[in-house]
Amino acid sequence: MLSINYSADRARFKDLLKQEGLFEAVRFLNSKSVHRFTALYVFDGPMLRNVCLVDKENDSVRQMDTIEITESYCVFVRNSGQTFIVPDSLVDERVQGHPKQATIQSYCGLPLLKSSGTQLVGTVCHFDFTPNPYSDDEVLLLEMVTPALVDALESSSLAEPEPIKSLAAKSGE
């Protein structure tokens, strides 16, 4: 079990975000989870755009392709505006038939709300290809840092939607 010290970890996250940037701050969150991936996504119309990705097993991977929101468990966060947790997709009836059910077998996504608290802009999530339980500590730490993540998005161009064509051109598709 990973050790989480809420006050110290929140302070460390904020310091990393300010001093070293979004990727290092998200990497720190990933270090506090047993799950392979930690990601930050923004909603862009019907699309889900990845802003930052940390993969414990492959440090060179830092971003995923833009996909339709309905192709991700983030759709459940978007639809409810609330945290959505799937410890084992193969036995969770809520994701029965979902396109990612067999692939992403554990997921914990939290909503990112604009500082006004009225507009859902995206998600922060941990996920893995294998079933993994989520500890209350992991979820609480994510809850504690979401305001700082939203502030970082609002103060940068990261949350501004780009035309889908330009994203595809960047990825060489």
Structure tokens at 13: 């996250």
Find the angle CA(140)-CA(143)-CA(147) to the nearest 5 degrees. Answer: 150
For residue 102, is it left (φ>0), alpha (ψ between -120 and 50) or beta? alpha
More confident position, 60 or 71: 71
Q: Is residue 162 part of a domain?
A: yes
| Residue 68, in any domain of the structure | yes
Does the residue 126 lie in any domain?
yes
| Count of structural domains, the chain | 1
Say how far apart CA 4 and CA 2 lie, in whole Å: 6
* Residue 37 covered by a domain: yes
Q: What is the CATH number of the domain that holds 75?
A: 3.30.450.40
Please give the pLDDT value at position 98: 96
Among 56-60, 62-66, 67-71, 150-154, where is mean pLDDT lowest? 62-66
pLDDT bin (cut points 50, 70, 90) of residue 2 is low
Phi, psi of 149 (to 5 degrees): -65, -45
Reported as a single tens digit per residue, the pLDDT across 16-38 is 999 999 999 999 999 999 999 99
The answer to whether residue 133 sits within a structural domain is yes
Pairwise CA distance, residues 136 & 66, whole Å:
30
Q: What pTM was computed for the model?
A: 0.84
Query: What domain range is 46 assigned to?
Result: 6-167
Q: Which residues of 36-72 are buried (b: 16+ CB within 10 A; e: fewer)?
A: bbbbbbbbbeebbbbbbbbbeeeeeeeebebbebeeb
